[in-house]
Structure 1
Amino acid sequence: MAGAYDDRDGKIWMDGQLIDWRSANVHVLTHAMHYASSVFEGERAYGGKIFLSRQHSERLRYSADCLDFEIPYTVDELEAAKAAVLEANGFSDAYVRAVAWRGAGEDMGVASKRNPVRVAIAAWEWGNYYGDAKMKGAKLDIASWKRPSPDTAPSHAKAAGLYMICTMSKHAAEAKGCSDAMMFDYRGYVAEATGANIFFVKDGEVHTPKPDCFLNGLTRQTVIGMLEEKQVKVHERHIMPEELEGFEQCWLTGTAAEVTPVGQIGDYNFEVGALTRDISESYEKKVRA
């Protein structure tokens, strides 16, 4: 499948039923379009099975709760809908996007209690998020935007509005020939990339930012568990910018990114070392087990 995302063959699940891909539309006065009242999940299916599918559905409902609306479908109903989308489109390996938002209704100001909550699930075939960086290591810029304080935004929700500065940061990075950007948090600590969590290696031990103001990704949690099973020491802590110079290896984690090595962040270089390769290969095996 290729081409513009609004002009493809296939089926999308929307508000309880499968409809033609090109018919999955919303009104221009949809509340989410104006006020970012939207949450989503990115998931991957391997061999017809979505990795951590139920956890994604649970987090979608949790994120909606954080934004003060309730998704009108249970976790079981969301699970059934995702399975139906994969089957209807004939996908085995695919990216799955579930999204819930406040639609058009009687309210068109900041408040939107009277507007319906809409839900859609789409899937498409999607290769490596960072292209050939999966093998040679991604090149990252350092973003000028910072992840916000948790008392200014629902930082633990997967909310669409939180990605505005990510989009701008990634565009700026791409203009410099980079794949992505690493972001600091509001205190100046290393946080994450625009759509992936980050890990570093030093002296055989792993260091990763403490997720106290950004999303604690499901892939991040999975990789930490894998490292602990391999008896690799993992430090979840605040990381200062000046520490980047002393790290030997680096990788990103996320549903789209999977485990992607990083070769450069700004002026700092990293090797695609043995531990990075091992955890990437082990993750590939785990999601297809």
Structure 2
Amino acid sequence: MSFPDITAELAAAMPGLRGTLVANAPLAPLTWFRTGGPAQVLFAPADEDDLALFLANLPERVPLTVIGLGSNLLVRDGGVPGVVLRLGKAFAEVSVEEGCRVRAGAGAPDVKVARAAAEAGIDGLTFLRGIPGAIGGALRMNGGAYGGEVKDVLVEARALDRRGHRHVLSREDMRFSYRHCGAPEDLIFVEALFEGRPGDPAEILARMNEITEARAATQPVNTRTGGSTFKNPDGAKAWQLVDAAGCRGLRIGQAQVSEMHCNFLVNLGGATAAEIENLGEEVRRRVKEHSGVTLAWEIKRVGVA
């Protein structure tokens, strides 16, 4: 599918824009599933000021979708209309501050933040090693793994709204709950400040290595997957419900429920986004029929079919 090219129109309305605007940019290579259609426009801002300029001049009628490293994302086959915003290297800086604090751009990989904290002797952020994404996504979904989650360590987050205005949000402002952030949906996170506690670098790095080994032993980390597919319901584990419903290894086309960990969907090679999404919906149907539980998607699905 190809969208009308609106890059010239956008550029004309934003003199001085320094970031890149790409029409009909393929998104499949930017996602871990490696499938899905293009972005009508893919925008990579040069820095925060450039992003503010862009947002202040983006017409309200143009949809805006924000993506990160594409680890927990399914782009539908028809692609994403409007602008897809991706924060790149300009938003990936990580710095250590006094008081066991770490400041990280929203585009910084979670593992990079965990490692910076570990090397500085800051404990409490080790769980980020188990989240395969970037800080922006971790903020938006209160990312967590291995006994920790963002709400445990966040001091504040900085964001821009759809008009380019800047905001600073406290942990309370984020209104965190399980795998959810209650901050306004139009806010685009650009930076986070975390606070841990003193620890021994060697011990912290050893725990990080344990997380790495545990993920490799229990999750299909070297496949085309989108991470955890469904949120854990209250008092239950999603994978156990999927397994009990007989869905381990279930296939639709080239999409499969992982044999290793059945809360993961896998692209065996050439799967369409529709096959992956339909497989997820079939799993939800079977789990509901078997246990009465309605599983909620954890993977973010964007675009048109």
Q: Compute the TM-score of the two structures, normalised by the length of structure 2.
A: 0.27
